[in-house]
Structure formats: C-alpha cells, structure tokens
Structure 1
Amino acid sequence: MTLPRLGGTLFLRLAAVLVLAVLASQAFTLWLTVQQKNDLLARQLYAQVLDTLADYEGLLETLPPEARDRFLSSNNSPTRPHLLPLSQVPPESHVPLGVARPLAGWLTQAVGEPVTVRLAHGERRELWIKVPMLDSHYWLVMPIRRYQPPALLPTLQAAGLMALLSVLAAFALAWRTTRPLTRLASAARELAVGRMPGPLPASGPREVCEVIERFNSMTQALDKTASERRLMLAGLSHDLRTPLTRLQLAVELQDDNGDKAGMLSDIDELSRIVSQFIAFARSEENRPLAPLALGELVDSVLHKFSRDGMVVSWQRQDVNINGDALAMQRLLSNLLDNARHYGAAPFAVSLTRDGAHCRLSVHDHGQGIAPELQQAALTPFERLAAHRGSDGGSGLGLAIVTRVVAQHSGSLAFAYPDDGGFSVTVTLPLLAD
C-alpha cells in the first residue's frame, strides 16, 4: 500500500502514520470487544439451552407419547422457552447473529448431531433451534430479549474520545520531531542565498541532534573560511591601491611622450579591477538590513553618474524595502557600469511597484548578453569572450549583483524589451506595512 504524498512534508507523513496506527488499533479494539461480547452471549445461551433441554426431556419422559403434544401446547408461552413441532415454520425474516455460529457448533457437539440455529424477527426476537428430543425433533424457541448485548454507543463514544486525544498527541509528537528539521531546512536555505545562519539549538531525537551539531560545525567552518578569504582579498586589494596611486602620480608628472595617455588608462583599469575586488569581498559580509527608501537611493546613484557625463532617463516610484543601502548602491552602480561599457545609449532606469514586490530595471540599447551566455555571466571571474582582455574588467560586476540580490531575497532576470535593447530587472520584496 502506497501512502499519498500529503504535501511532501515529513510532518504530515509522520502524523498520518501515527493517526493510521491509532485508528487501526481503535478499530481492532472495537472488533475484539464485539467478539468477546458475542462469545459471552453465546455461552450464556448455550448454558440456558442445555438446561432447558434437560428440563423438557425429564418431563416428557414421564408422559406417554399421546400426552406429550398436549403438554407442549399447554406450555407454549411466548415469554419463556418452549418447544414447537417441526411443522411450525419460523418467521421468514432472518438476519445473521454473531452468536449463531459458535452456539450451533457447541450444541452440535453436545447433542451429537447437526443443530440448526435461526434468529427470527417477528413480533418478538426469538432464537429458533432445531434440537432432538427423545425420539423426535422439535423447535426450541428461546426469547432473547433479556440476552441482548448492551448498546455499543457508550463504547463508541469512549473510543472516539480516545482516538481524538491520541490523534492530537500524534500531531504534537510529529511536530516536536520535525520542528528541528524545519529549522535546519530554513537555515540551509539562508546559507544557499549567501546569508550565514546563527547556531541552531540541538533538539529532537538523537540522530537529528547529531545532524544539527554537524550543520553548526559546518557553518562555523564556512564562516571562518569566508572571513579569511574576505580579509585576504580586501587586504591585498587595499595594498595594491598605494603603489597604483604612486604610479599614477609619477606618470602624470612625466612629460607627454605619446605613451602617457595609454599608461594612465592602464592604471585606471587596474584601479577599477582593484575596486571590484574590494566590492566583491565586501558583498560576502552579512550586514544588517534596515528600512530603505529605494527611490531616494536610486536618485543619489544616478546623480553621481550624471556628474561623469552619463545621461539616464529615470522613471521613479517611491517604494520602501528592507535592505542594505551600501549593497544596493553597489548593485545599481554595477548595472549602470555594465550598461555604459557594454551597452549603448539611450539609457533608462525604472522603479515600479508590482503587488508585494518592486522591480528595478536598467535598460540600454546595446546587444545585451546572448541567452546561452547569461548564466555564465553571473559566475564570479567569468568574462564573456567578446570582452575578455579588452575592457579592463574582472568579471565580478554581475556576480556582485547576484550576491546582493540573493541577500535581499530577490530575483534577477534578463530581457529583450519590445522597443529594442537589453534590460536587467531586479525584483525585491517590499517592506511590510
């Protein structure tokens, strides 16, 4: 038997197994109770039938054969056991009786020949038993009103109450068992999007506690490794800036010999690469998120690019998100840098509200990124062949954007709008009211 998926959650599956076990045990208990009651009733009827047969046989033996029928007719009272000739036909409405089979078996062994037992529903509930008596056979009619078993309703009510309590206990047990695993899955999702979760409390079964402890050890090791990598990358990038600044100053003080402009351009490219390395190292930091007016932040970033001569049309809608201002500035700056270096004018930025989310789009009219290369473009240090070695980039721009988007529980999408060009859209959850 295959259980349904039940939503696929361990909690529902475990709860379903416990509930089925409780219901099966309750059903078996009820069945066993009914069987025991039928067995007890059959034993009582068996003893009563043997006593009645013994009494009648003792009386009939003292009477001559011609007087026996008159005696039986005079004792034919519907309120007590009595004998009827086989010519008397029992009522036609017969229903199964749980005691009939064991009673017939016991009587057959007692009298030494097959005994027929019928339950008749006429004006009265009676048990008709075909029995031998002396040299003939009769119907022994037993009124069974006083032998009726007690009603099952109180038993069913008690069983229903116990089943309800057991089901509630099963759900509580399933919740306590799966709750640590739910927290573990949530922490794993945070780790997958680049956020380092805090230590999880080790609770639940021993095996689950061991898994949580190993997960905590793993996250601590990853955090330590990431911290060392950030420190090394940031320190190396910072140390490179000093000689680059001295080199740039020395070149600027030289006379223009035809190579000065190219040398300054190379130094500027190196400086940009170092800045991207520092930005990439900082993007791994789990900075606290705070309420942020995204429209005002976009205004400040666009103002900086306008000072550098980049003309960008701006469609604004005021929205608030839970975010890191520095990381969001870095995200938009990288998208605008990519549009300026690899795209073509005119450039446009839009910020719109879409239900419980907002969409920040950067649109240019360049060739964009081919669909088969879009996933590779998001990988750190991965540079497209068309630009490799020709623009001074490091292949970290979109990787930083991807990391910031994940830290803000958002999504990133590329598109080719109907009016031409290429756009990158970042979708972020709005700040709850």
Structure 2
Amino acid sequence: MSIAETAGIVVVGASLAGLRGAEALRRNGYSGRLTVVGDEPYRPYDRPPLSKHVLSGELAPDATGLPELDTLDAQWRLGHAAVALDRAARTIRLANGTGLAYERLLIATGAQARPWPAASGGGLEGIFTLRGRDDAARLRTALAGGPARVLIVGAGLIGCEAASCCRDLGLPVTLVDPNPAPLARSLGTWIGSVVADCLRDAGVTFHAGAQVLRFAGDASGRVVRAHLADGRAVEADLVIVALGATRATDWLKGAGLMADAGGVTCDGACRVLGADGTPCPDIYAAGDVARWPNPLYGGRLMSVEHWGNAVAQAAHSGRNMLAPADDQRTYHHLPAFWSSQFGINIKAVGLSEGADAVAIVQGSRASRRFLAVYGRAGRSIAAVSFDQARWLPAYAEAITAGRAFPPIRDASDQGDYLALAPGFPPPRAASTLIEARHG
C-alpha cells in the first residue's frame, strides 16, 4: 500500500456528519490538510427527502445536495470506501488500494440499510432497500413503472413513509411488521395504533404481528410472493425492505477499537475508545455511527440516527479534536426526529425507551391532532406531537431539566389527561440503539 498524501486530518464519511464535522474544523481554526473520504461518488447530500420527495417524483435524486456552509479547501476522495485502519501507522486503506496518512481522524461513516438475507430470497429482482441516493433513484424508477402489488416489510419510519408515498402514487400497498402497531418501538402501541388507523384509512393492508420468513421468485428470478411465519402468502412484484440499519464499522475490524454493528463506542467527549476502554486522543466519531454515554439519560450508551444529532455531534467533535486534553467538553444531546406521512406531521423529542407511562396533554387521539408526553419513574423523558407541535419546545426544555411527568399543567389548550401504559414491545438488546430515520 502506497501512501498517496501527507498527513493531516482525515474525515471518513462524506455525508451530513462528515461535512458538518469538516466545516467545524475549519470554523475552529484548523488550516492544515483536510481530506474527506466517501464510499459514494457524490458530494454530501440530504437523506430525508429520499423517502419522501424523491420517491414521489417531486425531487430528482441529484437535487438533494447539502449546502456547504464554510469554505472547506478539502481534498475529496469519493467513490472509494475506507476498508481498513492501522492505528499504529496512522494510516487508512481505501478500496482502490490507496493509503492515507492522518494525524487526527474523524469517523463519520454512518449506517447502512439492513438487507434481506440472500438465503431466504434477498437476491431476487424487485427487492429494494432505501438508504442512499442510488437506492432512491432505483426505487423511484421501479415505482414509476406501476407495480401491481407493493409489499413493505417493516413499519418503522422508513416503512410508513414509503407506504404513504406509494399510496399517494395510487399503488396498492401491503405492510407487514412483527410488532402489534406501526412505530411501536419508538412510540409504543397506544400511540402507534393511531398510525395503524391512518394506514388503513389510506388503503394500506396492514398485517400486524406478522413475520416474513422468505421470498419466492418466478423462473426469471423476480420476486412474486412472501411467505409468512403463520403460513400465509402475500403476493408482490415489488418489495421494500425497511428493517432498520447497521452501523458502517466493518472497515474497523482488527483496528483495536470498541466497534461493532451497533456503532463505534466513544467517551463523553466523542473520543473513540480502544478495545481496552481507553480514549484515543487522535480519533473521534460523530453521527449515526457514534455510540456515546448521553448525560441527559444517566450516561446510557446510545447511537442516535437523527439529522439533528449528526449536525450537533459533528460540530462538537470538530471542536474537541482541536482542543487540548484538559478542555474536552462533554456532548449532551436531546434526541429529536420528524416524519411526514399520510398528511400528518409527526415530531418527537427525547428518548421514549423505558417509559412506564404516556399521557395526551393536548388534543386527542380521535382527532389525530395531539401532543403526548412519556414518563419514567415520575419524570418526563420524551414527547411526540401529531400536527400539534406548539408546546413541543416547552416539553423539550422540561425533559432536559428532568422535570416531573407531565411537567406543564393548566396550559390554555390543555384538557384533562389520563396516564396509560405506552405498550412497548420487549427490547431487542441491552444497549440503546435509536434506529429512527433522519428527520
């Protein structure tokens, strides 16, 4: 491996976190060599429009570029993924065999869509995932062809947004999810049932509590149906697999870091931890790939796949990368996301995982215009609004301050409320992985 460039700061990941991290370095006074590495051939682009405006045809895939807010004067190494990290030599190897030396490194490789296993039909034609610009372009072309039967596997944010878009295009849609309600893992089944009603009213056939075992294809290798665990079969000529994401960490195997499919583990200052738990003074991480102890939730390790976190954590990491060891600031972040589906704007703040109560404090479920607050052990930990976001900033402040559940009483538009169990499905893992889509 030949080293093609002299050392400087290298940012691996040319998406939102990578771009904003590089800008933070320049903004904080770094004037040396700056290299940004990306596995895709495109300059950084915005992902939220992919499952909304691009799929609907309202926006071309190449019209999603992110604005560059600062003059970077960076070397862009696009179209060649990082495949290995040698910490001892302080070098990164790219897929084309090129080596890059670094003095300091920012890991911002994000996440990748969880694919359907090839052994159970994942290689059939007509099966799509949605994560990047090329994914959206291919899926948009396929949807424009007017498939007769669209099947979506997974009723998280991406699955529900895709279902909404397909119905707007007049396409028949079936949605299958193993949980009792859509968005059950992020909102609970009591609030998620509102989304289920929206699905059905829009004409989506929703199979709750159902699991796809395998896909079957025709003689040409194109998908024609899905076989469910309960013995049913669902006919489909286009399938969208929306089963969340895994963090892009394969290239870090053998590097001696605490990294796995759930992310790269960092300390509170966003410094990546070595396998022995010691922070690496020259390696930081930001965005979807970073897993860090959030002080707002008792130091619980979490990886937040949200647009706002990518921006804020990248800026924080860029600042800390240039600061001395005795001035490493701790990263605090209140998770937040939004989603537009079935004519409703859903906005959420906080981490609802572990909530033991939820209450609607404005509006009503029946009207589908409401604000709900989640509590745990008497404290407010999260809030979500369905077309009722007026008080959401106030609840965000209350959640950050650790106030009682629910913290705001006698508001001008607040009625009586009843606290109920949120109805979350059993957890999948001990660590907190917030797999909600950027928004």
- Structure 1 length-normalised TM: 0.16
Is the radius of gyration larger for structure 1 or structure 2?
1
TM-score scaled to structure 2, two decimals?
Answer: 0.16
Higher relative contact order (CA 8 A, sep 6+): 2
